[in-house]
Amino acid sequence: MTDIHQEVNVIEGIYNGEKISGYIDLDDRWVELSRHPVVAVDAAEAGQIADVLTTGVGLSQGLAEANPLSAGILPLKFILNDYAENQGIRECGQIKSFLSAAGWGATAANIITISAGAFTGGSAAAGLLAGTVAWNQFPGKDGCTGWVGQPVELSTL
């Protein structure tokens, strides 16, 4: 007897407020691979919010903004996040991973800067470390709603 191999397309979508993925098996039944709730704020958005909040705290204490775009970065953050969420899962995941790493890295750098009263080598090290951890621990696709395919019916065919 020979092994039977069949290529399948994974179907991804949002169903009843949850992200799902699966495929149709050889017996024409839906096989669910994963399911998890859609979150209101994902790790990338939370990192960006934390960056804005800690920047505000630093500015209120008289520290200077290191970003040359200053407040001009805010619209760019919203535009980039919205753009990501309207892309396919791979592209969205890459952009969201970047936003997560940048946001949490900047937040960590801000916290050390606020604590020290000035930007230091520790600020840079904390930012790099937190950004690396965020890149590796918060998969960007968790914040993606622009999934490939339409919502699928979860019944036996």
The pLDDT tens digits of the residues spanning 26-41 come to: 777 777 777 766 667 8
Angle at 116 between CA 107 and CA 67, to 5 degrees: 45
Q: Rounded to an integer, what distance in angstroms lies between the CA atom of residue 55 and that of residue 76?
A: 16
End-to-end CA distance of the chain: 28
| Per-residue DSSP letter, 91 | H
Residue 59 has pLDDT above 50, yes or no: yes
Amino acid at 54: T
pTM for the full predicted model: 0.70
Residue 114 φ then ψ, to 5°: -65, -45
* Three-state SS at 35: strand
Mean pLDDT, the chain, whole residue set: 79
Q: Is the pLDDT of residue 120 over 50?
A: yes
Please check the confidence at residue 149 and state whether its pLDDT lies above 50: no
94: tokens are: 């890459």
